[in-house]
A and B are shown apart, each in its own frame.
Chain A
Amino acid sequence: MKAPAFDYARPRDVAEAVKLLAEGGRPAAGTQSLGPMLNLRVAHPTLLVDLRGIEELRSVSEGESAVTLGACITHAQIEDRKVPDPTGGMMPSVAASIAYRAVRNRGTIGGSLAHADPAADWPTALTLLNAVVLIEGSKGKRETPVESFVTGIFTTVLAPDELVVALRIPKRSRRARYGYWKFCRKAGEFANAIGAVLDDPETNESRAVMGALSGPPRLVKDARTFEDAVMTFNAAHTGEDAYSRRLHTVALKRAFAQIQ
């Protein structure tokens, strides 16, 4: 299990990175998913573009209504509150539950989202938080809400020459409450089901997300109660068997129970 040969580049800014991607390069950040894929020889890039040398991707800014986190901010930085938290504790607690500390030390929020493993935490959590993905490519910059960024299992709207540059996450009021419950076979494993809910009386938002499905996370925007939310999900269910439906329903119920 040794990676096949590939070229390696370490650009210093986003423009240079995008140029390398346009030439067929493949982006690499924390390599917590890509590393094993290389060694298992299921990924065969000819050129690996290491994004960790790009200052901009590690930058953080805080505005009045949102916090913007560079794509290469690690799970550990979020867990340790080394970067501003727009969610009053929700993001650090999600980060702390990702895999193991060794993974969190290197794995990045942008990489996790762009990889779009349905069982990962950030696609579900960032959908719940109504985050916006800031993208840059050969044709310039664009933005898209997370809920339309992930399109399927390991698939997103990113073109091969585009890069996730940052995530803009809205600030919530002090009265916002969150529920986040996931089922893992054992500590540190990917989730079999995730339920996530957000209730912010000041912005009048009631969102619920079901994650770790056999597709992108599912969002219900006006989810006042568990019963409402689950009915919407059940109506749209595809591809999940009875066991999986049961787990997802329970995850959602327990996420709601956390904000009762």
Chain B
Amino acid sequence: MKEKMKKQNKKAQSILPKKAVGRPAKVAIRQLPSGVRGLDAILGGGLPEFSFNIIAGAPGCGKTTMVHQIAFANATPKKPALYFTILGEPAIKMLRYQQQFSFFDEAKLGKAVRFINLSDVALEKDLNAVLEEIIRQVTAANAGIVVVDSFRTLTRKASGDAGAVDVQSFIHRLAQFLTSWEATTFLVGEYAEEEVRDNSLFTMVDGIFWLSQMSERNSVVRKLQIYKMRGQATVPGLHTVRIDQGGLEAFSRTLGLVGSTTKAASRQRLSMGIPELDRMLGGGLLEGDSLLVAGPSGTGKSALATQFIAEGLRHGQPGIMAIFEERPEGYTQRAGTFGLNLKAAVQKGTLEALYLRPLDLSVDETMQAILDAIKRVGAKRLVIDSLVGFEMALAPGFRADFRESLYRMIGVLTGAGITILSTVEVEDNFTSLQFSHYAISFLTDDIIRLRYVEIDGQLRKVMVVIKMRGGNHSKDIREYVITDKGVVVIHPRRTDYEALVTGIPRQTGPRKAQEDEVPPEPKAPH
């Protein structure tokens, strides 16, 4: 008998195609677009089709807006989105407010997106009746997306031990029906974070979207966390969320920049637009480097950044200037006084000046704005002026993440061959040479330090290249001026002074004859 079975099995195996005897193919879970910018990347590609999800959080976090975006992004007349409202925000008010968002497509209303109020059933009958009505409506409409808002108020109606069982049974039957019906479901509810552990709803659902608002000092920021998403890997952690005219936008804490990139083995030298400085840098800045220009106010950091960008444009390298301290017009105006026409580049689309100054920005959304601009113009050079202004523009709650996010962004951008010049203001003291109070030098490949020194009864300016990761550089401390040509390095290194870096040097050589400056050194307007 055994022998016979063995023979039969062998025969059967030989008949089967080779594929069938291997590991059976996994089910492919189709992913739906969320319609929320940035969310698909956080979700690991999109919303898993036929999943049963909850969008939870405190009032005012953006739950309703998020689910509207999902509904409008996926609803079609053949597979409509049914939006059940129950004892929550009245539908008429929902329509009133949600139509203000650009994603709200009036043409979809009634056919592709349908609102159904179940308050009467919920108030007059029980959960069974609500379930029956949902089943009736979903079956009749052949819904592809189902929203129940607010699920919390619906289940609150049932109380006590018996009520808890009713709720559990209701959720179970609802999930069973909607999944079998091939609908992707979103329950919307106001829940507190501590409820996740004790409420069986959170065990039963496939996905948990948690929205929250965090306040620190005077600013409030919205956050999103994907607590759970069965079947796919999501980006962990708290992601910033902003609600504007386009609806909800999510900013992945990894900025979508995953994986490391390595710099090309052979990189060209880029001119800073200041020949003497290029020589100090060993022939120019290495392509894909991150340069930090540190110095006190008025030493010409922005002027140097302007020349860096303008030189790139001259060589056909588009650029982005992320400005946090002055208006873009100030930049282009100053460039004009140096004989650099940045306005033309802006008009041509090879240069974009981002003026980012609101005081409640998140570091992720700011960096997203920079990344978007880089993509738009195909930038090869980026100026961040300044890191202090950048940090100040952030809501206080985000400042702790500043260095981490900056590190991530600089790493990926420079890896992609973009050369970055960041400025940072440091206060000069007259005992030592501080590079930056930020401890960000680990972020940068190269550092140029600008400082004031007292020489011959004048407050003059000197620069020195502190560090160049990719090659040798000049060790000279060089005096420079800001003229109608921008930053101009003058004089060879001084050998008649020592302790220049302290700002109060001592004269060691013979005193040279000095001519009075009449008129004083021309200065770029601010």
A and B: interacting chains: no
